[in-house]
Structure 1
Amino acid sequence: MSVSVIHLLSDSQVEDLVALYQKEWWSKSRTLHDVRTMLANSDLIFGLVDDETGRLVGFARVLTDMVYRAIIYDVIVADDRRGQNLGKRLMDAMMADNVLTSVASVELHCLPSMESFYGKWGFVPNNSGTRPLRIRRGDAPIGDKASA
C-alpha cells in the first residue's frame, strides 16, 4: 500500500487522528474539539494518508518561529501500520521541509528508547547544560477555567 504526505487534514482524517491519539498513553484523553483547535494553531502539519482508503496512518506537527526555534510534537503511526517504515517516511518529510531546513534549532521530546530512532536525523540529548522546564496543567480541555 502506498501513502502520501499531506499538510491539511480532512474532517474524517481529523477523526482518524483522534482515534490514533486515543490508543497512546500520552494522548488518550484528547478530544475532537481540542484536536481541531490544536491543528488550527500548529505551524506545520505532516500527515501520512493511505492512498487507497484516505485514512490517516501517520501524523506529526511543528510549532516554530521560522528562524531560531522549532519543536516537533506528536509523531505517531497507526499501530496496524508500524514496521513499514512510515515513521521514517514522516521524519524524512519533516526534516526535508523548506521551513525546517532553515530553522537554527529543531527539538523534540521522546522516551530514551526512541533516541536511536531520532538520532538518524541528528537529534541528540541536550547536553548544553539547559533543561526543559514545564508548568503542567494536566490534560484539561482548552477553555476549562478551573477556579483557583
Structure 2
Amino acid sequence: MAVAAAVYGGSSPSPPRIAAQIKPNSTPPPPVFISTNPAHVNQHHLRDLYAICNHSCHRFPTIDAAGRVEPVDALKLREALSHSPVVVSAFTKPEFLTTQSSASPEVTTFTGIGGDWIRKVAPVTPENGRLIGFGRAVSDLGLTASIYDVMVHPALRGRGIGRMIVQRIIRTLTNRGIYDIAALCTDNQRHFFRACGFGDDMLGSITMMYTRSSSGYSEDEQTISAGRKQLLVPPLRELGK
C-alpha cells in the first residue's frame, strides 16, 4: 500500500533539513555529477535504468513470472518528462560501476597523450559519465509538488546518492517558493524518505487514489487497462459535458 509523505512550510518556510541516512553504507560514494538539466537525460539510458532498477512508472505494473515489471513505454516516458518541471539525474564514471553482465568494470575511451591518466583525473560530466540515478517532480509551479521515480542503480544503493537526488529536487522547488512537497511511496520506501526529511502530513490528510474497478460495469462507462488493474472511466455527462 502506498502512502504519501509530505513536508509543509509555515508562514516563514525554510527548506526541510535532510536527515542522515539511518543505516549508511560504509563505502563512500564514487564521484557523482548531479544535473537538473533535462537535456542531459538520454531517454534510452533512462529506460535502461528503469529496467536495471526493476522500477515501473505504473502503480499497477504487469509483472512476469521472474518478478520483472513491464518495460517503460518510451512515448509515455517522453511525455512525462516534458511535463516534469524538475528532472534530476546522477552520473558517475563507468569504471566505478561493475555491471551485472560483466565481471570487469566498464571503461570509457579517451584518446590523446596519456589517455588513461586523463580519463581518471577528468571530472565527471554527463558526457563522460553513466546515468546511475534519477528523480523527478511534478508541480503546479506555484504551490505544490510531488516527487516521483527516485531510483539508484542497485550496485550503488545505500551510499547517499538517492538522498543527493532528493536534496536537489527539494532545493530546486524551494528556490521557486514551493514548500508543499509530497512523495508517493511504498511502505518499503518510507525509511528512505523519512531520512530525507519527510514525514506524515501534519494536517492529517491521506492520499486517495482512483480505484473504481470494472465490477458493475454499465454501457455508459468505458473500461481502461491500468497495468494489472481494470478501471472504469465515468461517462462524459457525469463530468459536466
Rate the CA distance shift 1:133–1:91 in 2: closer, same or farther, 3 A.
Answer: same
Of 117, 130, 137, the residue aligned with 1:62 is 137
More helix by share: 1
Which residue of structure 2 lines up, in the alignment, with residue 145 of structure 1?
Answer: none
- Alpha carbons 1:68, 1:104 under 8 Å: kept: yes
CA offsets 1:109-133 (integer angstroms, 9 cap, x no match): 1122322321233311235343222
Cα RMSD, aligned residues only: 2.6
CA offsets 1:74-97 (integer angstroms, 9 cap, x no match): 001111221321111112212222
Which residue of structure 1 lines up, in the alignment, with residue 167 of structure 2?
Answer: 92
- Unmatched runs of 5 consecutive residues or more in structure 1: 141-147
- Alpha carbons 1:70, 1:103 under 8 Å: kept: yes
- Pair 1:19-2:94 in alignment: no
Larger relative contact order, structure 1 or 2 (CA cutoff 8 Å, min sep 6): 2
Aligned equivalents of 1:88, 1:47: Cα separation in 2: 12
Which residue of structure 2 lines up, in the alignment, with residue 73 of structure 1?
Answer: 148
Per the normalisation by structure 1, the TM-score is 0.78
1:4 CA displacement: 1.0
Secondary structure of 1:17's aligned partner: helix
Q: What stretches of structure 1 move > 6 A for 4+ residues in a row? A: none
Output the amino acid matched with 2:226.
G
How many residues are paired up?
Answer: 140
- Alpha carbons 1:5, 1:47 under 8 Å: kept: yes
Aligned equivalents of 1:31, 1:67: Cα separation in 2: 29
Secondary structure of 2:201's aligned partner: coil
Aligned equivalents of 1:75, 1:66: Cα separation in 2: 20
Which residue of structure 2 lines up, in the alignment, with residue 49 of structure 1?
Answer: 91
Identity %: 20
Which residue of structure 2 lines up, in the alignment, with residue 104 of structure 1?
Answer: 179
Secondary structure of 1:83's aligned partner: coil
